[in-house]
Amino acid sequence: RLTFPVVWQRRLRGVTVMVKAYLRYEQARAFGVIASPEACPVYADDNGKLVVTAALERLVVWDVRRGVEVRTLVPPPRESGVVPAITKIARASGSTIVAAGAADGSIRLWNLADGTSDVLLKGHKSEVTALRFNKSGSLLVSGGKDTNVVVWDVVAEVGLCRLRGHKDQVTDAVFVETGSESIETKLAAGTSAAGGARLVTTSKDGTLKVWDLDTQHCAQTMAHFTAEVWSVDVAPGGGKLAVGTADERLHLFGVNGGGDGDDEFDAQGDNDEANDGENPTATTTTSTPKTADEASVAKQKQTSAAIESASALLTPLGFVKRADDARVSTLRFDERGTFLGCQTVGRAVEVYRVRDSKEIGKRLRRKAKRRRDKRKQKKDSGGAGERGEHSDSDDGDGDAITAADTIDLAAVVRTKAKTRGFAFAPRTRVKRRSGVKCVLSILTDCNAVEEWEISGADGADDDDETKNAKDLGEPLRTKSLEHAGHRADVRGLVLGPDDITLVTLSHKGVKVWDPEAGSCARSVEGGYGLCALFAPGGRHVVVGTKSGGLEVIDTQAGVQLTGLKDAHAGPVWGIAATPNGAGFVTASADKTVKFFEWTLLDVDDEEEVGAKDATGGDADADANATATPQRNTRRELGVLHTKTLQMAEDVLSVSITPDGKLLSVSLLDNTLKVFFVDSLKFFLSLYGHRLPALCHDVSSDSRLLASGGADKNVRIWGLDFGDCHKSIFAHDDSVTALKFVPKTHYLFSAGKDGRVKYWDADKFEPLLTLNGHHASVWCLGVSARGDFVVSGGHDRAIRVWERTDEPFFVDEEKERRLESLLEDAGGEDDDDDDRVAKAARDSAFARGGVAPAGAEAGMASRKTLETLSAADAIVDALDVARHERTRIEAHVAKKAKAALSMEIDDEGKEDTRKAGAKDTGNKLKKLFKVNDDDENDDDSMASDSELLDHQAVVTPYGENSSYPTGLAPNPLLMGVSPERYALAALATVKPADLERAVLSLPFSSALALLDFLSGWLEKGEKIELTCRLASLIVRLHYQQLGATANARGVMLRIRPLLRDRANSFRDVLGFNLAGLGMWASRVQETVGAAGWKRKKGDDSDDDDDEKDDALLSDDETGVGPG
């Protein structure tokens, strides 16, 4: 591998110059992060064995039982190198699809089965703060800090709509599905992809909104909360909805039309009056409308019924006071809806028990009985009258269900660290443990995931429905994922001499890693480590702590040896080894620089051994047995203080030149001082930093010294005379670490801005910017050969950057950085429709009216660099297709004109020939015959040419029937017709970017695209895409199309074709769905008849495969395999 840069010859402006090429560093792996505190964990399967957590920009799948990492899902790198951190995770129920929302507003869909990701949705301009799938997994809703809510169609990979209405960050969202129609019924009724579902969103503005996805408008707003609304969830049955706020209240709502176990009681209780009226959601269709007017009237009625139903979706049931006063962070029901978890920003997760219909009925009957007894006592005591009449009038209100009747606090899980999220385990996981009622995975703020179990107080089995977990026992922590990462920042790291061992420091000890595999070998408890150094041999490491002590740790045994607890009176900020390896130097905030030597210490281990009596029998302990101490002496590595250099200010870092002659220190007075090592005499004073130099390092040839300070600058000094070669503005924040690459003048610097930069200290140029960390970078480590660099920081991540064989030039890297800045700033500005919608909402709010419909709903996607590139590609393809179509038409017209002139010339020649035939004799008759034959030959040739006109032109890509004879095809079309070329260009655009790309087209290109659509519809090619494009263009350019005369003919041509093709495509889709449904029912009937019941773990995989083949064989039942 190349260690030094390669010199290349490049020709710039006609002059050959020598250009230096460097080798690129790229991130190879990242480890140390178990779970980011921003995203709640989710279970990866229905068995509850695997948990998915967000590790900054990655998704990590963990096996909770074994505590190991199963799979890591890493997003593809970007041009700028900055990959945003994941802020929200959601998993589709019963599926392997996981959605991950990022800090830049993008959403990536992952398939956990194979670890692939092909879908990237961009709809928000800022961080995604809410993410949820619907029950079937076909719809996805996202909310962000930009106050917008976006609904996505996961199957079509497109955005359905953008909902505007909140005035602050959207905190949570959930689908409420009240309809019970099947997919076939909805498809036949012509409903939208939302399928009649309702959407409930919450925001920091203190409101809860109910959205009707069919009409895309806000149907109901709850604004009676007295604090910010942070979370919402609906019970699995759809009958209850819980809302958590920033105060101590937990609100509960009833869902009208939602079905769960309370329906039986509601029919007997306070819903009698509602049952007497009409159900707004129930629609009965006796016959299909035959005319367009009848269909329009029916659709209007259906829309009004949907709006009326959505406007009365939620009914307040009151609130209950929580046990913890901290604000709610996450609210979730379990899989059956029997428990409700409430996680706060403190250290508690409250688990509420949800009563079923029988318990609620019993509770209401007891309350009614108590009220009757109370009225009877008052009546007997003579207290009737107005008070009795008032009590009688309150009977109806007393029968209503309240939040206290529905839920009650069952248990509280309290963790040692602050909680950041939780998830209920699936039902199958809970059934495996006898007596366990629920299992929770709790994410804590200290980079750990804990699993807790809550059992019944009576130890009854969870399947016992009679007890229904009325009393729960104390929560018990069973498992914890905490070994693979530090609990706090990575404040220091050091690489072993052989580069195969990595030691990282944190506030409660050190961890030993394998940097190649990224696995943690062992953990050693200790103090708050700030700096570290390997002893000769690469087995022991000395750690300088914040308390001023020096800890010696055996990395192979994982134990802490005898050190010096009082080596310094202040924090040890720096440590440097002497070139001869005999000792090291430390720098501390106690204004001293101390020299230490390695030594071997004798350590006595005392053990108490009981002495038995001489007879060997069992005697009395006090009489015949005595405990005598036995000393075992062993030798271990230690440190010995030799001398001290007193300084006037706090010492922040220390270094010794590789030649062993000079000692350099950085002080709190913004200067660096250089001393002779042997005599400790003063040599140089380096001043120039405006703030203290936090770090510095010396090159391998002892000629250059580089320092980085809190003034964000890196200064290059010469150690010969102490002159400053260059001062470079390096980072956007303080420079925290700096290391030279061995045997070179290249150096790496790290700062609080989260970046690691690569520099050439000879040319004073920035070579690379390594973006990866999401917080301050505290420490750096460079390998002995310079082939990789390790960095650690405040985000608890340890990243390894490896040197590749790819060369790069400084000028090209500057252009690349500028392009990445353009890419990052591509979609920061608000779109026109966003500004218009915001103005309309503000105007309506100022008037006290209702905002128009267009102000609440808009396009789901947003303008990005990808959408603009897609629009350019579409315009180019349309221009080429139109140009080729014009060429073909011109060639055909030219051939027709030539054929017509040839016929006229032939008629003139015939008249002349007949006139000359009268004056000639037999000789001319013979010639006439010859001419006749020639004429026949011409006719035959003409007929041959006409036949060739209808034959296909042979090209290098095959036959191209769209080009006539004599016209050379355009090689850009790759052997296809112009229409197919334009269609292929549109098909390559991502579905999520198509809407915004078409919006970016000029009207002339949109009109040309509409003309091509008529041809595609006639041939029936890509019906779904063409129908979507036609409706989109008409909706976007409605006014201009109506005012353009050339567009009327195209519109009239498309109108019947569009309806006919859409109806035929819908019929095919409905037929396929019906066939699949029949196939599924036949398979279920066959399996049920065979009495097949799978029991996991009873049989081997081969036996299961044989059973599957026997049950799903192609026999007379007609059920095929699969």
Taking Cα atoms as reference points, which of 452, 451, 446 lies closest to residue 419? 446
From the centroid of its chain, how far is CA 454? 31
What is the reported pLDDT for 22? 93
β-strand pairing of 158-164 with 128-133: unpaired
As given in the structure block, the two tokens for residue 1020 are 């029936």
> HEC profile for 120-180?
EEECCCCCEEEEEECCCCCEEEEEECCCEEEEEECCCCEEEEEEECCCCCEEEEEEECCCC
Residue with tokens 């609440």, as numbered in its chain: 856
End-to-end CA distance of the chain: 52
Determine the Cα–Cα distance for residues 1075 and 46; give it in Å rounded to an integer: 28
pLDDT tens per residue across span 949-1003:
444 444 443 445 667 777 777 888 777 888 888 888 888 888 888 888 888 888 8
Q: How far is CA 167 from CA 164, 842, 844, in A?
A: 9, 10, 14
Query: What would the pLDDT profile of 586-609 be if each residue is shown by its tens digit?
Result: 999 999 999 999 999 888 776 655
DSSP secondary structure string for all residues of 363-401: HHHHHHHHHHHHHHHHHHTT--SHHHHHHHHTHHHHTS-
pLDDT digits (tens, 9 = 90+) for 1061-1074: 888 888 888 899 89
> In this structure, is the dihedral angle defined by the CA atoms of residues 464, 465, 467 and 468, taken in order, positive or negative?
positive
Instruction: Judge whether residue 1105 has pLDDT over 50.
Output: no
Query: Residue ranges of the alpha helices (H) in 659-790?
Result: none
Full strand arrangement of the beta sheet holding 116-122: 86-91, 97-102, 106-111, 116-122
C-alpha span between 681 and 683 (Å, rounded): 6
**Mode of pairing for the β-strands spanning 651-656 and 662-667:** antiparallel
597 Cα distance to chain centroid: 51
Q: Is 1000 within 8 Å of 871 (Cβ atoms)?
A: yes
Tracing tokens 């310079």 back to the chain, one arrives at 786
What helix, strand, coil percent values describe the chain, rounded to 5? 30, 35, 35
Query: What pLDDT was estimated at residue 740?
Result: 96
Q: What is the spatial distance between Cα 129 and Cα 1095, in angstroms, rounded to a whole number?
A: 40
pLDDT digits (tens, 9 = 90+) for 216-230: 888 889 998 989 999
Residue 1032's contacts (CB-CB under 8 Å, 6 or more residues apart) are 994, 995, 998
Strand order of the β-sheet with 229-234 is 229-234, 240-245, 249-255, 314-321
- The answer to whether the CB of 795 falls within 8 A of the CB of 55 is no
What is the distance between the alpha carbons of residues 107 and 84, in angstroms, rounded to a whole number? 11
pLDDT in tens, 294-346: 666 666 666 666 666 667 788 899 999 998 889 999 999 999 899 999 999 99
Nearest CA to 81 out of 684, 670, 663, 768 is that of 768
Least confident span in 372-376, 705-709, 752-756: 372-376
What pLDDT, in 10s, does the model give residues 889-923? Answer: 888 888 888 887 777 766 666 666 665 555 555 55
Sheet with 476-481: list strands edge to edge: 419-424, 436-444, 448-455, 476-481
Tokens of residue 1008, six digits: 């040309």
Residue given tokens 């290109």 in the structure block: 1005
Task: Tell me, letter by letter, the H, E, C secondary structure of 826-894.
Answer: CCCCCCHHHHHHHHHHHHHHHHCCCCCHHHCEECCCCCCHHHHHHHHHHHHHHHHHHHHHHHHHHHHHH
DSSP string, 1018-1081: HHT-SHHHHHHHHHHHHHHTHHHHHH-THHHHHHHHHHHHHHHHHHHHHHHHHHHHHHHHHHHH
Q: Are 34 and 484 in contact (CB under 8 A)?
A: yes
Highest mean pLDDT among 495-499, 843-847, 1027-1031: 495-499
H or E element that contains 756: strand 755-760
Check pLDDT > 90 for residue 244. Answer: yes
Dihedral angle sign, alpha carbons of residues 1106, 1112, 1114, 1116: positive
Q: Given this model, what pLDDT does residue 152 score?
A: 94
What is d(CA 495, CA 473) in angstroms, rounded to the nearest whole number?
Answer: 48
| Mean local confidence (pLDDT), 183-198 | 55
- Least confident span in 230-239, 535-544, 1039-1048: 1039-1048
Amino acid, res. 105: G
Please check whether residue 331 is in contact with residue 244, taking contact to mean a CB–CB distance below 8 angstroms: yes
- 439: amino acid identity, one letter: V
* Measured torsion, CA atoms of residues 395, 398, 399, 402, in degrees rounded to the nearest 10: 170
Q: 854 pLDDT band (50/70/90 cuts)? A: low
> At residue 1091, does pLDDT exceed 80?
no
The whole-angstrom separation of Cα 332 and Cα 339 is 9
Q: Do residues 228 and 327 lie in contact, with contact meaning Cβ atoms separated by under 8 Å? A: yes
